[in-house]
Amino acid sequence: MVSKEVTVNNSVGLHARPATFFIQRANTFKSSIWVEKDERRVNAKSLLGVLSLGIVKGTAITIIADGSDENDAVDTLVGIIESNFTE
């Protein structure tokens, strides 16, 4: 299991289009992936789950992955967030 904390800095947070892009990328990995905010953990491959966290600009979240491609999954998803979803 691999995890990394990252701060969401794009203007709308992880909402609508950015969340959809994030989830589409998460679904390309075999590993189980979660997003955690304030000790609440949701499936990173679920749009409703991710949106339910209410992630706004400046929110620190943790990306957690467990599986055969866990390192690539965490690195890719953290990279997407750090690039403000411009990948």
Catalytic amino acids? 15
- Tokens at residue 87, please? 């990948």
Q: How far apart are CA 70 and CA 24, in angstroms?
A: 16
Q: How many helices (H) and strands (E) does the chain have?
A: 3, 4
**Inter-CA distances, 73 with 36, 68, 70, 78, 80, Å:** 15, 10, 5, 8, 11
